[in-house]
Each structure stands twice: as C-alpha cells, then as structure tokens.
Amino acid sequence: MKHCNKFRWLIGILSLAAVVAATVAAVVVYLEKKKKDEEDLEHYLDCSIQ
C-alpha cells in the first residue's frame, strides 16, 4: 500500500510540474505575440503617416 501511495504522489507532482510548465509557456507565447503585434501596428502607423 505504501508503494502505491508514493507512486500516486510522484504522478501528482509530475502532473503539477507539467501544468506549471504549460502555463508558463502559454503566458510567454501570449506576451511575445502581443509585443510583436504592437510593433507591427507601430510600424504600420509610422509608414502610413509618411
């Protein structure tokens, strides 16, 4: 029974680590896309003014 309990804890910790890593990756991708979109918009506005 103890062995099974340790295995469940290990699976739980690994699952939690995977969720945290996926969340961090999603936030980084979102922020990078937002930054690129803002740069593209700024470039477009600069070119349209000239």
Q: Total structural domains in the chain?
A: 1
Between CA 9 and CA 16 the distance in angstroms is: 10
Whether 49 maps to a domain, the answer reads: yes
Nearest Cα neighbor of 2 from 47, 10, 24 is 10
Whether 30 maps to a domain, the answer reads: yes
pLDDT of residue 49: 82
Between CA 34 and CA 18 the distance in angstroms is: 24
Query: Could you tell me which residue, 47 or 22, shows the higher pLDDT?
Result: 22
Place of tokens 């690129």: 36
pLDDT of residue 4: 83
pLDDT by residue (tens digit) across 7-23? Answer: 999 999 999 999 999 99
Give the range of the structural domain holding residue 39, as residue numbers without chain letter.
Answer: 24-50
* pLDDT surpasses 80 at 3: no
pLDDT by residue (tens digit) across 24-41? Answer: 999 999 999 999 999 999
Q: Which two tokens stand for residue 36?
A: 């690129």
Whether 45 maps to a domain, the answer reads: yes
pLDDT of residue 1: 58
